[in-house]
């Protein structure tokens, strides 16, 4: 994939987005540990911190949908109550986070139209 025509903002977004697939795998593993009741409080706190960090980094790069999805997941992970309800919500939100990731990746890898050129003047 050639990044020659991508803006600096898009290149920064792509660099960030390329770091996310291993994090998604780790998130999935933690959610499954929670479902099997093998995750202790420290693992869940670490998971929540990872989501908060993802939210902050995505918001800094103007990836709003991705930041919102990570924020919703962090809120769900902090919520007290039934573990099965939390796990079900986290599974659904992880699916949404991955969809937002794909959309952000598509948008960041598509060159923006040239904003610097003026349209030609109409003949008189």
pTM higher than the cut 0.85: no
Convert the pLDDT of each residue in 11-23 to its tens digit: 999 999 999 999 9
Number of domains within the chain? 1
Max CA pair span of the chain = 76
pLDDT band for position 3 (cuts 50, 70, 90):
very low
Question: What's the rounded Cα separation, in Å, for the pair 48 and 54?
Answer: 10
Is 46 contained in some domain?
yes
Q: What SS3 state is found at 14? A: helix
Is 24 contained in some domain?
yes
Is 120 contained in some domain?
no
Is 30 contained in some domain?
yes
Q: What is the CATH number of the domain that holds 65?
A: 1.20.120
Q: What SS3 state is found at 4? A: coil
Give pairs for 48-54: CB < 8 Å, separation 24+.
48/74, 48/77, 48/78, 50/23, 50/26, 51/27, 51/77, 54/20, 54/23
Convert the pLDDT of each residue in 61-112 to its tens digit: 999 999 999 999 999 999 988 899 999 999 999 999 999 999 999 999 998 7
Is 84 contained in some domain?
yes
Structural domain of 60: 8-108
């Amino acid at each position: 994939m050639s990044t020659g025509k991508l803006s600096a903002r898009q290149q920064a977004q792509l660099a960030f987005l390329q770091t996310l697939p291993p994090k998604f795998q780790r998130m999935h593993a933690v959610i499954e540990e929670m479902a099997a009741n093998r995750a202790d409080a420290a693992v869940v706190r670490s998971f929540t911190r990872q989501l908060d960090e993802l939210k902050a980094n995505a918001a800094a790069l103007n990836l709003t949908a991705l930041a919102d999805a990570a924020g919703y997941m962090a809120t769900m992970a902090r919520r007290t109550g039934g573990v099965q309800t939390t796990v079900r919500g986290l599974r659904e939100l992880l699916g949404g986070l991955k969809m937002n990731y794909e959309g952000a990746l598509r948008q960041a890898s598509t060159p923006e139209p040239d904003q610097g050129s003026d349209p030609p003047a109409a003949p008189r």
